[in-house]
Amino acid sequence: MTVGNNLIAKIKDKGWTIKSTAEKAKIPLPTINNILYGTSEGSVSTLNKLAKALDCTVDDLVVDSEVESKVGQDLELLKECLSIYDEYIKQKGLKFSREKSMKIVDNLVSLYSKKKEKGLDYKVDQDTIEWIIENL
């Protein structure tokens, strides 16, 4: 989402019009239109005024919630893959170069991300780690 998308969502949540938002935030209507049409992201001062009027934070206006959510999910998957991988190599007494370890974990994350996107079971397991190691 862009700043404009976040802004229009907040305006709709309040049940306001764009014109009433401009008035409440004490911002010229063309400034809000520029943000909504993506020709401007808005100055810090403008975003602060909008956030105050809309009773939200500037982050609520500028952060891409879809990307933030995906990054959080990807980070959790990465942590899970790293944890299982670390446990596996300790159990087996294996030692790999940093580069090879990164390739293995990258392959794990890639595989499980694809499974997760398709709605398939994506439990990270040692058999999969073994298969990736054998096929690298």
Q: In this structure, are 97 and 51 located in the same domain? A: no
All residues at 6 or more sequence positions from 104 whose CB lies less than 8 Å from its CB, including other chains:
85, 96, 129, 132, 133, 136
Number of domains in the chain: 2
Question: What's the residue count for the chain?
Answer: 136
Q: In this structure, are 72 and 56 located in the same domain? A: no
Q: In this structure, are 127 and 83 located in the same domain? A: yes
Least confident of 39-53, 66-80, 105-119: 66-80
Helix (H) or strand (E) holding 48: helix 44-54
Q: In this structure, are 26 and 74 located in the same domain? A: no
Q: Averaging pLDDT over each range in 18-27, 59-68, 115-124, which range is the top one?
A: 18-27
Axis-axis angle for helices 3-14, 44-54 (nearest 10): 20
Dist CA 22 CA 117 (whole Å): 40
Average pLDDT score over the chain: 86
As a whole number, mean pLDDT of residues 99-118 equals 84
Q: In this structure, are 54 and 78 located in the same domain? A: no
Q: In this structure, are 51 and 78 located in the same domain? A: no
Least confident of 8-12, 34-38, 96-100, 121-125: 121-125
Closest CA to 81 of 117, 119, 132, 120: 132
Kindly indicate the confidence band of residue 25, based on its pLDDT and cuts at 50, 70 and 90: very high
Q: Which domain holds residue 19?
A: 3-62
